[in-house]
Amino acid sequence: MSELYAVRRAQLRDRCAATGSTAALISRPANVRYLTGCTPPGAALLLGPGGPGGPGCDVLVCCRPLTGDPTEGRPADDVRVTVLPARDTDPVVAAAGLAAKAGAEVLAVEEHHLTVTRHRALSQVAPRMRLADLACAVEAQRLVKDDDEIACLRIAAEISDQALGELLESILVGRTERHLALELERRLVDHGADGPAFPTSVATGPNSGRAGHLPTDRRVEEGDFLTVGLGANYRGYRCEIGRTFVIGTTPADWQIELYDLVFAAQKAGREALAPGVECHEVDRVTRHILETAGHGDGLGPWTGHGVGLEIDEDPQLSPGAMGKLDACVPVTVEPGVHIPGRGGVRIDDTLVVRPEADGGPELLTITTKELLAL
């Protein structure tokens, strides 16, 4: 595994050299993990100009010793780990100081992650070193996933399916959104997740169908729509699944109608996924079906997004999204409709974009999308 991280860092180093930076400072946690295998809280990675072992070798600056917890990960062998003395609290500033000492003239930093105040502190610690913008170079590298990354996502999806499947076998009426969410999170961990990939969403009755709904004390009632959104974090990789069910024996007509509509929109989005397709086009086909049916107003800014070391990463499937899909890019397709006062439907899958010749998009979250009455 260590070689993999070395290759990623070498790629980034080449890119920096090409744009005139002699060193790079990576502070965004998911980027640090991608390049080193490890994300101690607050740590910063200094990508030296000398390469591994050289005078400017890659250094992970931490504010406390590593723990080796799976949620934190372990650093690649060729990354030097430096733990700051207790009183020096910002690893980013310390790393910039190291870069200056090593003679770096231009240090590329993540301006989309550093605050204005921290950026100023960097200038002050090394007034003669010029700060450049690394921009989203690491995010761009993270876009297309390798086999190991996809394997982790596949396991994360399996765990999520298992946790959801078990919940469906239990009695739901009378239980609160909060309790169902906590139970799902426990089941994720039972099945091997390092933790939930994001706060589990359970929405009942009038809350159902709302994107990112935070669980309340409302109890599940007969006749409710129940929308569940959850995902496992497995070795840092996060996936997402969302389903909507009906509580009781027979769904009402409006419920069947709304479900079929969202299902059709989600299906259209899934089927649109292919290498070379514009991201906004996937959004458009999904959104179009909901808009045509008169549900355009309440739609969120996107109908899907990339997943990986973060639950919400590039690409975004939104009307303004630039760029095209590539093979081996995992994304969610997750349209939803929420009718204020009544509730609604969301259906959410994690898929990997694959060429037609390889069988088209690979569905990672395989729980049925039939409208189940529980």
Nearest-angstrom CA–CA distance, 347 and 228: 9
Tell which residue, 212, 205, 210, 209, has the closest CA to residue 176: 205
Q: Which is nearer to a copy of itself, 6 or 63 (CB)?
A: 63
Nearest-angstrom CA–CA distance, 68 and 71: 8
Q: Which is nearer to a copy of itself, 236 or 251 (CB)?
A: 236
Nearest-angstrom CA–CA distance, 39 and 27: 10
Beta bridge partners, 305, equal 316
Q: Which is nearer to a copy of itself, 186 or 288 (CB)?
A: 186
Residue 182 CB, nearest approach to a copy of itself (Å)? 5
Q: Which is nearer to a copy of itself, 50 or 195 (CB)?
A: 195
Q: Which is nearer to a copy of itself, 123 or 250 (CB)?
A: 123
Residue 50 CB, nearest approach to a copy of itself (Å)? 27
Nearest-angstrom CA–CA distance, 160 and 154: 10
Q: Which is nearer to a copy of itself, 83 or 274 (CB)?
A: 83
Q: Which residues bind a copy of itself (CB under 8 A)?
A: 41, 63-64, 67, 69-72, 86-87, 89, 111-120, 133, 178-179, 182, 185-186, 189, 210-214, 216, 299-301, 318-320
Nearest-angstrom CA–CA distance, 272 and 353: 10
For 64, the 3-state DSSP assignment is coil
Asked if residue 334 lies in contact with residue 267, where contact means CB atoms within 8 angstroms, the answer is no
Residue 21 CB, nearest approach to a copy of itself (Å)? 16
Residue 244 CB, nearest approach to a copy of itself (Å)? 18
Residue 151 CB, nearest approach to a copy of itself (Å)? 20
Residue 119 CB, nearest approach to a copy of itself (Å)? 5
Residue 252 CB, nearest approach to a copy of itself (Å)? 24
Q: Is the dihedral of CA 200, 206, 211, 217 positive or negative?
A: negative
- Buried b vs exposed e over 342-353: b needs ≥16 C-beta within 10 Å? ebbbbbbbbbbb
| The two three-digit tokens of residue 196, written as one number | 């939930």
Asked if residue 44 lies in contact with residue 27, where contact means CB atoms within 8 angstroms, the answer is yes
209: left (phi over 0), alpha (psi -120 to 50) or beta: left
Our CA angle for 248, 250, 252, nearest 5°, is 110
Q: Which is nearer to a copy of itself, 189 or 274 (CB)?
A: 189
